[in-house]
Structure 1
Amino acid sequence: MRKWLKLLLRIGLVLAIVAGALYYWLRPLLVRIESTTLASGIHVKFKTEGTNVEEYANQAWQPYFAKGINMGATIPGHFPGELAISEDDYERWFGMIQDMGANVIRVYTIMMPEFYEALSKYNMKHQKDPLFFLQGVWSPEEQLIEGQDAFDPKIKEKFEQEIKDAVAAVYGKTTLTPEPHSGKAGGAYKFNAGPYLMGWIVGTEWDPKMVKGTNDLHADTPDYTGKYFRNKPGANAFEKWLALMVDTAAQTEVQYGWQHPMAFANWVTTDPIAHPGEPLVEEDLVSVDPTHIEAVNWEAGYFASYHVYPYYPDFFAFDKSFQEMTNSKGEPDSYLTYLNKLKAAHPNMPVMVTEYGVPASVGVAHLGTLGRDQGGHSEKQQGEIDADLLQEIHGSGYAGAILFTWQDEWFKKTWNTQRYDEADRRAYWYNTLTNESFFGVLGMFPSKDNKLFIDGDASDWNKLKDKTKLDVQVPGFEEIWATHDEGYLYLQAKLSEPFDPSKESIYFGADTLPGGNRHGPELHGMTLDEGLETLIELSDENKSRMTIASNYDIHSRLYERSGLPDIDPKEKQDDSGIFKPWKLAVNYLLEYPDSRVNHPFGDVEVGILERGYSDPSRSDYNSKAMWQVQGQVLEMRIPWMLLGFSDPSSLSVINYSLPSKNKFEMTHVKGVRFVPWIVKNDEVVGRDNSAAAQPIPVSAMPLYTWQGWEDKVNYVERPKQSYYIMKEALHKINGPATPTDQSGS
């Protein structure tokens, strides 16, 4: 009996191995993607025709509009290049993306093998309606910027190899060594995702100084005439280099039996249009013109790819010549005007906007027109703006619109907060002041997002195990509780009587470091034995905010020599008694000759605390809600950076020392002490406000502390309101716009 069992097991093992081998070798035959075949035997599924992209479907070529979304390479707690997103994650996301109405995913670089495997398996199950992708190839960006010469042999060879690796990875014919620290993926690429490819986008946004440097160094470089792509007469040196790179991609791909439309990445900064009202010379320094390159014997064709946002560069707001057109609401619209000018600059070729969108964040990095800022939006506002931009792109006759982006990415940084946090810890906490992290329509929220709602109801607090009661004996407060997660420090207070924000104010002073304000108008005669770095005031909807002690105001310290008005010396003194608005810069001081025109330094207040409901199941949900009160129950959540934290996962705060080389020093602390008080009729409730009163002992207040979470991050994945708004907008679009669809006037 045992012999028979062993024999059966061996037979079963052999059959399993044979079945696996057959699946591996025959799986390309399982891909039943409809395509046409050239006389040479090369397959073509997509091609360009005039200003359109076309898909071969139902045995004919049909106009195709790419309703796409960009996808990042990682999840919270990880940096790009780390093996973080599972095959199951991808398959789930692909279903959500298609359900949203998108037909294309754009990726920027070689993804982990799991991406191509998951997409192939997903599409095998959805062969009648597959999900396509645009494959990007990441250029050696840092080396290009450092060397200022694209023709440097080391750079040229590195990029050519990256192109060849990307093609081999897409077609499942390579094994690459991962480089996690540089963000480069790797592994064994065995699944052929080529049949689901829509096209190639070679390179990244080009640094204008590098482009000009390359042109200056190689002004006499000969024209490039490749097998499938060449530059036209009049092309500059960098465009000739790009013709070589696009041709390299084409020559490599054809070896795998396919042709797909080709493009190189581009952005507004290096477009071929003049921006006479752009203040910064660098933003209109040089052009990289797609029309200076053409396809030769490449049946799949060639298209232009641009990243176009409504708030950058600054000419979108300043240049009146880009406000000539009005949108469907009758408003002068610089984005719509730009779209039409860009389209006109590319006759007889398709143009796609391969990045557009705004983030849902508290932080703001640039201001645009019509409220289309880089940040400062709720999820609902994000969706409404993104849907408007999609409508304008489609109506202007573009071949595609690829939204930025699918998932939030905590590791991202942005120019006006990166000096305040620790770069090597960026992926481990949720900093809503860093707008760049929150362009996603799939939110990646801190771990209490689905456990603790800001709504004035304490019942969810009763279920929490990781909460701390702060033993604060203060008139007006019966009890105070605190907890935290990767994004916020939460407070819940049971008040002695119902709170009426129109008649009284609640204050919470926060102490993290020695020093700060021990007195001030907000204290209404009280003094403290230890200073406050930040202060929360909750009153009516127009006054609730977080402020910062003037001598701790990191914004003033960083920018006082970069455009801010002169600071009163009193503000720099410890215990100045002055609390200032919490601000972020949105543009530097612009002065001739560095800029064409003079423009003052710009900043915005980001410490405004909106009252609302953070429960996404409510119809009145507001993703930016920071506090709510119902009767005697007060709840709030405080973004970590507003408290001065550079990394809450290691209890690290920005310290008082002056910035050194535009970088602040960081200090590890034990936690936060809160000092609460209520002011009614200009008097502190239950306090002796006479001059003889003893200082309030802040040092005796309970310390709220927590264990750092190092690299162990928990998060909640949830579609934002913007996902559902974009779903409605995307489902309304079927194919390219007709002339009657053109928006604006």
Structure 2
Amino acid sequence: MKKFLVASTLVFILAVGFLGDIVSNKITAQNDIYFVKANNEEIYIAIDNKWQKLDIVGVNLDSSKPGNFPNDKEVTEEEYLNWLKIIYDMGANCVKVPDIMEPDFYNALDKFNQDKEKTIYVIQGIYFDEVDLKNGKDIQSEELEEKFKNNMELIVDSIHGSSFNLEGAVENEYYKTDISKYLLGYTLGVEFASHDLIYTELINNKENYNGKYFYTNKDASSFESYIAKMADYLAKYEYKKYKEQRLIGFIGSSNNHKKLKVSHTNEEKYINDYVNPNNIKSKYRFKPGIFASYSLYPSYTNMKEYQNNIEGYLTELKKMHKIPIIIGEYGIPSSRNSGDFNVDTTKIYINEEEQGKALVDAYRAIQNAKLAGSFIFELQDSWHRTSWNTKESKILDRAPFWSDAQDYSQNFGLIAFDPGKEKSDSYPDDNISEWQEKDVISKNDDISLSMKSDEKYLYFMLKSKNTIDLDKQDIYIDLDITPNSGSTKSSQLNLNFDNPVDFIIEIKNKENAKVLVHEYYNYFSFNENKKENQIRPDLISVSPDMDEFSPIYIEITPRMYVEALDKVVDSKKIETGKLVYGNANPLSKSYNSASDFYIGDDYVEIRVPWALLNFMDPSTKQIMDDIYKYYRAKPMIINTINIGATIKENESIKIKLDSSIFRLKSWFKPEYHQRLKRSYDIIKDMLNTRNN
């Protein structure tokens, strides 16, 4: 009897231990159904039949390069292999893609991982086409739900290497490579705009969802129940067809707002204008579990509430969740216009070194907050992107064909695409050997003016026979861009011109240089007074030939109500026409990516962004037409620019160079070369130090 009791006790202990292991999923790493799972607030992966904690260190990647929109899917397998090596060498272990990629990406990933000690994993986005929402359709409509489900099936089949014709998606291409062993999970949809969420809440009844794998709690909005339903469909489709499960992530709204009291069809109700992943739950039969995904763009306005303490913000975010949190995007642009990303609001730029340091600070804050992982936004600069404060001033369907240095949204990458096949035509720096006699457009016995252009800048080089002394001298270059307006003089600068001038480049010293615009052609002033002038056009005070030149500004934050601060924040602007002194050559130890001009002993080199001169698309030689005549930015084609130069000494004109013609060139496909930014090296050093 005693032996029986001892044996029974041992069996009981072993059974309890065995069941405990099953409950905690410690021994289910041998299960073929899933190899990654959420456990409380962490993510684990099965390696050698053991669950190991996975800290996701990732980068966002899409199929964009100069001359193409992402949907064009023109990136080759060789280019993806190169990018994956860059990611691997940096110390990352995962990429996040926004939607279905071309087969070359999945082929490259499989080929790259085959001989690597460490694997590059993927989190696959399943995109929701927001174009339909702009056309007034409801997110939850039957039509859009069907499109969303079709996209899910397309992506799941592609991941698993099902061979089929993607007619209408990626025409005449096939997906034959199974990369499911590298797929950690999916994210559903996008970060939906609050007005779209408000609309869908108004026209749909709030009902909880209870499906096979997912359900929602009593606090869930109708949209959160809809997303749970879509996740259920995704999980059922993949398990039924491939007998596999993997993590599913829900994209939460970066800014959690309050409930709104609204009236609709004579009925008042409270609705959310944000997505809270906490309201969506997975059932036990869905083994991998779920995670929450948030975007983090630490701009000055967004972080002001937390005194620019990113870690404090993330800590508060984590307190709200009992599931793993992944920062799906965090980014800082390296741009001459930093937008609202500079804590120093008097500073106009963030260079590549500053970008790298800011990304390191954000990454360390994410680590200190003990989140499950994060993805830098993004690997490569995206010429096709357009920010809110530039989109009205350019031709959108031509955006990928030139690099807009005025647009911060194009410059989040760790890889830059610089103009030129191997190097750019010119860099303002301590060497002018790239300038040749054929580049001279005008000269006299004292000075010469040379010009070049490429897909990003107009370049100027003013060379003097004598030493340039900016303690005594001021340099002016005048540009006649549009035939519709301009002034032949500037009383404020005491200058006269050969042609009606639209822009003046003024260099007084290293700290005081800028581009000025003729007030009639000042697009910022036009927009600032647009509403008032529409109401009272008789109060418009500008004229095509007026004698007034103004600094060039750009709005970096619109006037808006910030709910977290419970007050209206006034709009902010910066003087984008200011020119930054420094060495712009990436090979120089003193390289500053934001540099606009450099001063040598007897020369000045300058580069000016096309958009700063009101070009809407330099690739087709299109500038803004008469903005007051059409009362908007309307394109027109020009073929030449008239350029002159003046050097003043002690406020008197010493040298004047007659205006000459610079002939513009167009291009169909841009020339460019790939370059790793200084920010990449900074991130790489940090990650490799951490990993070692």
Q: TM (normalized to structure 1)?
A: 0.82
The separation in 2 between residues aligned to 1:338 and 1:531, in whole angstroms, is 53
| Correspondence for 2:135 among 135, 140, 146 | 146
Residues 1:235 and 2:220 are matched in the alignment = yes
| Correspondence for 2:510 among 533, 541, 547 | 541
Residues 1:707 and 2:665 are matched in the alignment = yes
115-124 or 145-154, larger mean C-alpha shift: 145-154
The separation in 2 between residues aligned to 1:372 and 1:532, in whole angstroms, is 29
The answer for the alignment partner of 2:288 in structure 1 is: 300
Deviation of 1:727 after TM superposition, in Å, equals 0.9
- Which residue identity is paired with 2:274? S
Identical aligned residues as a percent:
25
SS in 1 for 2:499: coil
The answer for the alignment partner of 2:677 in structure 1 is: 720
Deviation of 1:147 after TM superposition, in Å, equals 3.4
Residues 1:360 and 2:345 are matched in the alignment = no
1:637-679 deviations in whole A, cap 9, x for unaligned?
A: 1111112211111111112232857x41111111211110111
Alignment of 1:278-289 (within 5 A): 286-289=273-276
The answer for the alignment partner of 2:75 in structure 1 is: 85
Residues 1:258 and 2:227 are matched in the alignment = no
Q: Cα distance 1:609–1:444, how it changes in 2: closer, same or farther (>3 A)?
A: same
Residues 1:267 and 2:242 are matched in the alignment = no
The separation in 1 between residues aligned to 2:345 and 2:221, in whole angstroms, is 37
- Between the two proteins, the alignment pairs up a number of residues equal to 651
Q: Cα distance 1:562–1:399, how it changes in 2: closer, same or farther (>3 A)?
A: farther
8 Å CA contact retained: 2:251, 2:277? no
8 Å CA contact retained: 2:474, 2:649? yes
SS in 1 for 2:512: coil
| Correspondence for 2:314 among 325, 334, 339 | 339
Q: Cα distance 1:61–1:40, how it changes in 2: closer, same or farther (>3 A)?
A: closer
- Which residue identity is paired with 2:558? Y
Structure 2, unpaired ranges of 5+? 1-24, 261-270
Deviation of 1:453 after TM superposition, in Å, equals 2.4
Q: Cα distance 1:581–1:569, how it changes in 2: closer, same or farther (>3 A)?
A: farther
The answer for the alignment partner of 2:92 in structure 1 is: 102
Q: Cα distance 1:724–1:367, how it changes in 2: closer, same or farther (>3 A)?
A: closer
Deviation of 1:65 after TM superposition, in Å, equals 1.1
Structure 1, unpaired ranges of 5+? 1-34, 276-283, 324-331, 688-695, 736-745
The separation in 1 between residues aligned to 2:345 and 2:286, in whole angstroms, is 43
CA RMSD in angstroms comes to: 2.9
Deviation of 1:274 after TM superposition, in Å, equals 8.7
8 Å CA contact retained: 1:76, 1:410? yes
Deviation of 1:251 after TM superposition, in Å, equals 1.4
The separation in 2 between residues aligned to 1:628 and 1:568, in whole angstroms, is 45
The answer for the alignment partner of 2:264 in structure 1 is: none
| Correspondence for 2:542 among 572, 581, 584 | 572
8 Å CA contact retained: 1:202, 1:263? yes
Deviation of 1:393 after TM superposition, in Å, equals 1.1
The separation in 1 between residues aligned to 2:193 and 2:413, in whole angstroms, is 25
SS in 2 for 1:539: strand
Q: Cα distance 1:342–1:643, how it changes in 2: closer, same or farther (>3 A)?
A: same
The answer for the alignment partner of 1:205 in structure 2 is: 191
The answer for the alignment partner of 1:249 in structure 2 is: 234
Q: Cα distance 1:68–1:367, how it changes in 2: closer, same or farther (>3 A)?
A: closer
Deviation of 1:357 after TM superposition, in Å, equals 1.2
The separation in 2 between residues aligned to 1:407 and 1:228, in whole angstroms, is 37
The answer for the alignment partner of 1:469 in structure 2 is: 440
1:503-538 deviations in whole A, cap 9, x for unaligned?
A: 3111101111122122224542x4234221111111
The separation in 2 between residues aligned to 1:202 and 1:186, in whole angstroms, is 26
8 Å CA contact retained: 1:472, 1:702? no
Residues 1:496 and 2:459 are matched in the alignment = no
The separation in 1 between residues aligned to 2:530 and 2:492, in whole angstroms, is 29
8 Å CA contact retained: 1:563, 1:600? no
8 Å CA contact retained: 1:311, 1:372? no
The answer for the alignment partner of 1:156 in structure 2 is: 145
The separation in 1 between residues aligned to 2:386 and 2:537, in whole angstroms, is 28
Residues 1:131 and 2:106 are matched in the alignment = no
SS in 1 for 2:92: coil
Deviation of 1:371 after TM superposition, in Å, equals 6.2
1:300-352 deviations in whole A, cap 9, x for unaligned?
A: 1110001111127x4533xxxx33xxxxxxxx434333212111111x21001
1:168-213 deviations in whole A, cap 9, x for unaligned?
A: 1111114353658xxx687200000110111111111112122122
- Which residue identity is paired with 2:389? N
Deviation of 1:578 after TM superposition, in Å, equals 2.1
Deviation of 1:143 after TM superposition, in Å, equals 1.6
The separation in 2 between residues aligned to 1:572 and 1:36, in whole angstroms, is 75
Deviation of 1:167 after TM superposition, in Å, equals 0.8
Q: Cα distance 1:490–1:71, how it changes in 2: closer, same or farther (>3 A)?
A: same
| Correspondence for 1:440 among 413, 434, 455 | 413
Deviation of 1:62 after TM superposition, in Å, equals 1.5
Deviation of 1:732 after TM superposition, in Å, equals 4.1
8 Å CA contact retained: 1:456, 1:633? no
The answer for the alignment partner of 1:389 in structure 2 is: 362
Q: Cα distance 1:637–1:112, how it changes in 2: closer, same or farther (>3 A)?
A: same
Deviation of 1:387 after TM superposition, in Å, equals 1.0
8 Å CA contact retained: 1:198, 1:260? yes
Greater strand share, 1 or 2? 2
1:278-321 deviations in whole A, cap 9, x for unaligned?
A: xxxxxx96231111111111111110001111127x4533xxxx
Deviation of 1:148 after TM superposition, in Å, equals 5.2
Deviation of 1:408 after TM superposition, in Å, equals 0.7
| Correspondence for 2:298 among 310, 315, 320 | 310
The separation in 2 between residues aligned to 1:563 and 1:305, in whole angstroms, is 42
- Which residue identity is paired with 2:289? G
The separation in 2 between residues aligned to 1:63 and 1:186, in whole angstroms, is 41
Q: Cα distance 1:666–1:307, how it changes in 2: closer, same or farther (>3 A)?
A: same
Deviation of 1:121 after TM superposition, in Å, equals 0.7
8 Å CA contact retained: 1:150, 1:241? no
Deviation of 1:139 after TM superposition, in Å, equals 0.6
SS in 1 for 2:400: helix
102-111 or 163-172, larger mean C-alpha shift: 163-172
- Which residue identity is paired with 1:626? D
The separation in 1 between residues aligned to 2:481 and 2:122, in whole angstroms, is 48
The separation in 1 between residues aligned to 2:29 and 2:583, in whole angstroms, is 62
- Which residue identity is paired with 2:276? D
8 Å CA contact retained: 1:508, 1:675? yes
| Correspondence for 1:61 among 26, 51, 64 | 51
Q: Cα distance 1:303–1:273, how it changes in 2: closer, same or farther (>3 A)?
A: farther
Deviation of 1:364 after TM superposition, in Å, equals 3.7
409-418 or 40-49, larger mean C-alpha shift: 40-49
Q: Cα distance 1:224–1:592, how it changes in 2: closer, same or farther (>3 A)?
A: closer
Alignment of 1:514-533 (within 5 A): 514=483, 515-521=485-491, 523-524=493-494, 526-533=495-502
The answer for the alignment partner of 2:173 in structure 1 is: 187
The answer for the alignment partner of 1:175 in structure 2 is: 164
The answer for the alignment partner of 1:505 in structure 2 is: 474
SS in 1 for 2:153: helix
1:245-288 deviations in whole A, cap 9, x for unaligned?
A: 1112211222323221111223314x37799xxxxxxxx96231
Residues 1:639 and 2:609 are matched in the alignment = yes
SS in 2 for 1:268: coil
The separation in 2 between residues aligned to 1:36 and 1:258, in whole angstroms, is 19
The answer for the alignment partner of 2:427 in structure 1 is: 453
SS in 1 for 2:299: coil
Q: TM (normalized to structure 2)?
A: 0.88
